[in-house]
A and B are shown apart, each in its own frame.
Chain A
């Protein structure tokens, strides 16, 4: 009897494989095969120089070396693009985490009993759903020389003449970072709030009985218990930050102006994809793949420890 039952179970469980077919077939075709193809081309010299097609020739690691070194100090290397990406991520992420922690702790504080919570949550989450490219186009027009921001600052007497926001390294990076902040802090707030609500309420009550101030409760109880979710938020945000593309691409029309100081890694990759430089594009993709792979492993480790 047990044998018959076992046979029955096995015949059902083959359906597990059948239901997995669409995912596996599509994933292998559109993700894994392209990944190996990308890695393959990264060892080749293969691009167009004007009208002549160069390659494909096997060149080993020279594409990678070319990305990391530069003979001309005016030509940026991958380090410069990584720095651009990271600095714009940090400038957006620091205010994002501060504001999110603050709002999250207010929303989840039972003693504050804030009204209109649903309204505020709706408003702060709104920018996350807006098309990043449209938002970047909007900020481009708002901050352009004849745009409303300059016009307002002049009406208020802060500026005498229009400021060229889009031709200054600091202001371009600040605008990009600000947009990233605006688009992501609502999401982070909701994630952190959910984490805070998951903390055992008796801990807060005990602290209150012992006479702890709200500041003490925040630093001594909320923050340490929130550490796993904070690390998760930080690393997923970093992975997202490395993919930063739409906002600076549209804002600077793909040039990374001024002098490529706002050009991110993916914008650089996009340039190679459009000019069909297989070798350099491939090498850059592989480097990005390795970095995100390592970061993903960290996230994976953390979310497994949480179980």
Chain B
């Protein structure tokens, strides 16, 4: 606020300065309040995951136990207890990474390919297929779940990751984002030039188009990963075997277990275990993600 340019601007509209200042103060107060509202729950989660069951049942305390770094050791004690328990959390973590990672890879690669087909070529059914994909974009997967379960039972694919991973190839929303991005960044002249140089169509796609789409692919890969990392509905219907379950299913199992018998410290650590990795990754990539959301909305 002390910078020269803003000073001169403030003097210019001195009539409104008081109003702007007051509004700025209100804006900061509301923003800080809302930020606290967002972060409060994660703070409580953090505090509670560093407490023992006995401490937790005796009431809430706002600060961690700093004495002798008790909060650090207790966190690891809770974690060790959780690992010794019945929930296969490492398996769950690994399964979640495999499913979400494969979905992100397949979804971005094939959505780019689909977008490229519509963007770069002229064929009879182009408009019809494009309209079709836009129309089905909003149809939720839940409404076809019954038929989906029948299908994968018939194909003997229940209790495998295939029904969770392969459908990611057909992702209308990701396709739409890629199509929008291509329209602004991929001139057809480049493809034409590649053709003149003798590059095959498939090779052109892999070696020229994909690298040019990198920013869009990165944004969509993150979103697809997070979406599948968090997905509970379909995996819960498909994965019944203990060893194959993903983290959200383990959370649901924790909820339906007789949780009064549970060590509450462990429960909080388990929740923290599935929340904090995402928070850390998000904080590293946040600038990228937030601008990615705005980018996708330009079309609206």
Contacts and interface: CB of A to CB of B under 8 A. Distances in A.
Do A and B interact?
A: yes
B212 interface: no
Contacts of B24: 112-114
Interface in B28-46: 28, 30-31, 34-35, 37-39, 41, 44-45
A12 B142 CA distance: 38
A253 interface: yes
Contacts of A306: 299-300
Given A13-B122, A33-B147, A114-B28, A269 B38 contact: no
A229 B226 CA distance: 25
B145 A133 contact: no
Contacts of A167: none
Interface residues of A, number: 109
B27 A282 contact: no
B12 to A, nearest CB: 11
A97 to B, nearest CB: 14
A232 B254 contact: no
Interface in B195-238: 195, 201-202, 205, 226, 229-230, 232-233, 237
B138 A292 contact: yes
Contacts of B299: 303, 306
B123 interface: yes
A257 B252 CA distance: 16
Interface string A190-218: 11011100100000000000000110000
Most buried by A among B111, B138, B151, B289: B138
Contacts of B182: none
B41 A138 contact: yes
Contacts of A187: 293
A158 to B, nearest CB: 13
Interface in B91-130: 110-111, 113-114, 116-118, 120-123, 125-126, 129
A306 B299 CA distance: 8
A31 B167 contact: yes
B143 A38 contact: yes
A135 B252 contact: no
A138 B275 contact: yes
B252 A133 contact: yes
Interface string B253-297: 011100000001001100100110011001100110110011001
From DSSP, what is the main secondary structure of chain A's interface residues? Answer: helix
Interface string A81-113: 000000000000000000100110010000111
B166 A112 contact: no
Contacts of B300: 191, 194-195, 228-229, 232, 303, 306
Contacts of B81: none
A203 B210 CA distance: 40
B140 A243 contact: yes
A46 to B, nearest CB: 11
Given A134-B271, A139-B41, A253-B256, A245 B121 contact: no
Given A138-B271, A140-B255, A289-B143, A239 B20 contact: no
The 5 closest A-B pairs by CB, nearest first: A34-B147, A16-B121, A37-B147, A19-B117, A296-B138
Interface of B: 6, 13, 16, 19-20, 23-24, 27-28, 30-31, 34-35, 37-39, 41, 44-45, 48, 57, 59-60, 110-111, 113-114, 116-118, 120-123, 125-126, 129, 133-151, 163, 166-167, 169-170, 175, 195, 201-202, 205, 226, 229-230, 232-233, 237, 247-248, 251-252, 254-256, 264, 267-268, 271, 274-275, 278-279, 282-283, 286-287, 289-290, 293-294, 297-300
Interface of A: 9, 12-20, 22-24, 26-27, 29-31, 33-38, 40-41, 99, 102-103, 106, 111-114, 118, 120-127, 129-142, 146, 148, 151-152, 154-155, 182, 186-187, 190-191, 193-195, 198, 213-214, 228-229, 232, 236, 239, 242-243, 245-246, 249-250, 253-254, 266, 269-270, 272-274, 278, 281-282, 285-286, 288-289, 292-293, 295-297, 299-300, 303, 306
12 contacts: A16-B118, A16-B122, A30-B148, A37-B150, A41-B150, A112-B27, A122-B287, A127-B38, A132-B232, A134-B248, A194-B294, A194-B300
Given A22-B114, A30-B167, A300-B134, 10 more contacts: A13-B123, A15-B121, A26-B110, A31-B136, A41-B146, A113-B6, A120-B34, A126-B39, A269-B145, A270-B233
